[in-house]
Amino acid sequence: MTEFLAHARTFLFVPGHRPDRFPKAHADVVVLDLEDAVGPDQKVAAREHVRAWLAGGHPAMVRINPPGTPWHEEDLAVAVEHGCPVMLPKAEDPAVLAALGVSAGVVPLVETAAGIARAAEVCAAPGVVRPAFGSVDLAAQLGVDHRSHEALRYARSALVVAAAAAGRAAPVDGVTTALDDEDALVADLEHALTLGLTAKLCVHPRQVPVVHRRLAPTPEEVAWARGVLAAAEDGSVAVFEGQMIDRPVVLRAQAVLARAPG
């Protein structure tokens, strides 16, 4: 499961109190949400809906409520009971991540200034597969527009560097809240890829196929990557299309092919 999470491109949130939507959700990773999508008076019922779905053998990730809330411990117990991965919101303390005891993998949702400041420690915590970026919550804390690429460029880049330094998979980018604006979604995806994020949190099923297409490498990129690996097959420094091929270029080519479908 952790290997699958590391290469997934789409993470689709589904409200935990809407079990009617569970069977209709299709993405690399379906995230059953017990946190932001569920009001306080529906938290317990949502947890039971999620428990029943997981008990039926359906694969999913659970976004649990953060530590310090009345629901955190029981949410976590449901995920651990059914051996499913967890998304932890407001992730900023590596000790909290280390104490979760989730064997199927943890995706810390880094969405606070403290989380960005401690991103390297958060990513290096035991059990972490890759971080996700909580752009909307962080923007609210910073007093900036969550739609602004420039305002959150540093935070995204900091998370990319932290994940790489910890040897984790590249981060999952935050949501695009413009549900009916494909151009906005595509612009967000292109910006994220430029900075090194390779997956996306989705809040509507219609976003999923767009994300899959745009985050996959183009045929030209795949052809380039295969050419690089072929040229460097014997491990020596080589030349491909007029470019010197050494280990960093080979690693880049391998990363491109890792994003290719199938």
pLDDT in tens, 153-166: 999 999 999 999 99
Q: For residue 50, which phi and psi values (nearest 5 degrees)?
A: -65, -40
Report the distance separating Cα 192 and Cα 215, nearest Å: 9
Query: Which CATH number characterizes residue 94's domain?
Result: 3.20.20.60
113 shares a domain with 7: yes
Nearest to 140 by CA among 114, 112, 108: 112
For tokens 């413009």, name the residue: 178
109 shares a domain with 84: yes
171 shares a domain with 52: yes
22 shares a domain with 11: yes
210 shares a domain with 83: yes
Instruction: Decide: pTM greater than 0.95.
Output: no
Instruction: Detail the DSSP E strand segments found in 82-164.
Output: 86-88, 106-110, 132-133
245 shares a domain with 198: no
Bind-site residues for Mg(2+): 111, 137
Q: Name the least confident of 24-28, 32-36, 223-227.
A: 223-227
Bind-site residues for substrate: 63, 111
92 shares a domain with 128: yes
121 shares a domain with 27: yes
User: Number of folded domains in the chain?
Assistant: 2
Q: How confident is the model at residue 81 (pLDDT cuts 50, 70, 90)?
A: very high
pLDDT of residue 262: 62
Q: What range does the domain containing 92 cover?
A: 2-215
200 shares a domain with 233: no
Bind-site residues: 63, 111, 137
108 shares a domain with 69: yes
* pLDDT above 80: residue 60: yes
227 shares a domain with 154: no
- Cβ–Cβ under 8 Å, residues 76 and 100: yes
pLDDT of residue 234: 73
Q: Which residues touch 1 (CB under 8 Å, ≥6 apart)?
A: 85, 104, 105
pLDDT of residue 257: 81
184 shares a domain with 158: yes
